[in-house]
Amino acid sequence: EPEVTQTPSHQVTQMGQEVILRCVPISNHLYFYWYRQILGQKVEFLVSFYNNEISEKSEIFDDQFSVERPDGSNFTLKIRSTKLEDSAMYFCASSGTPNTEAFFGQGTRLTVV
Amino acid sequence: GQNIDQPTEMTATEGAIVQINCTYQTSGFNGLFWYQQHAGEAPTFLSYNVLDGLEEKGRFSSFLSRSKGYSYLLLKELQMKDSASYLCAVRGRAGTALIFGKGTTLSVSS
């Protein structure tokens, strides 16, 4: 069964460092998303991406965040100058059309120390 | 703005039926989704409603009333493995991302 894959599963970084979280969406999907979930809290939308550009972003997705589709399979989230409060599980998701369900990857647990 | 409300916690026993409610206020409506999330894992898709009425999928059913801004997820013949968080998510306008509620943690005991 096709699935969204994310690497790494766990990343520890020092405050102020840059991190890149990687995702391989389901191969025939065109709509990509990043969400985050701080421990014990709800799943929060960060950004959606279609046709090589951001289609929607939340107020959380400020200038320290960026997304990129560097090739035909990968979709990345970059966090510049990480802060302690960026510690969370980051989920990548993809969908085949803009109005159907999104399928989630297993997440990257980011710990900023 | 968007607001999605669900009970924080529910408990039930094996073999029972449980109903998890969700109310929403959104600018626009283009579908309501239910996801299951086990602790430390990713949300997995359960069901989708865009029109009023009941959608049945095995032991799980989901109901939607757009005029009331209300949905429920019905789980029948509960099993221990159904202990998880159940997330209600809404798509406001067509083509926009899903916005999630805080989730309902369901504990199933024997």
Residue A1 pLDDT > 80, yes or no? no
pLDDT digits (tens, 9 = 90+) for B22-50: 999 998 899 999 999 999 999 999 999 99
Nearest C-alpha in B relative to A42: B102
Taking CA atoms, B109 is separated from A35, A56, B12, B29, B86, in Å, by: 31, 41, 6, 36, 17
Return the pLDDT at B2. Answer: 82
Q: Which of A99, A100, A103, A108 to mutate to test the interface with B (most CBs of B within 10 A)?
A: A99
The values of phi and psi at residue B82, to 5°, are: -80, -5
The pairing of strands B98-100 and B53-57 is unpaired
Q: Does B86 touch chain A (CB under 8 A)?
A: no
CA-based radius of gyration for chain B: 13
Return the pLDDT at B29. Answer: 93
Q: Which of A43, A100, A107 faces B87 most closely, judged by CB atoms?
A: A43
pLDDT digits (tens, 9 = 90+) for A7-30: 999 999 999 999 999 999 999 999
Q: Does B34 touch chain A (CB under 8 A)?
A: no
- CB contacts of B87 in chain A (<8 Å) are 42-43
Q: Are A100 and A86 in contact (CB under 8 A)?
A: no
Q: Does A85 touch chain B (CB under 8 A)?
A: no
Give the type of residue at B101.
G
Q: Which of A48, A106, A107 faces B97 most closely, judged by CB atoms?
A: A48
Query: A28 CA to chain B: closest CA distance, Å?
Result: 17
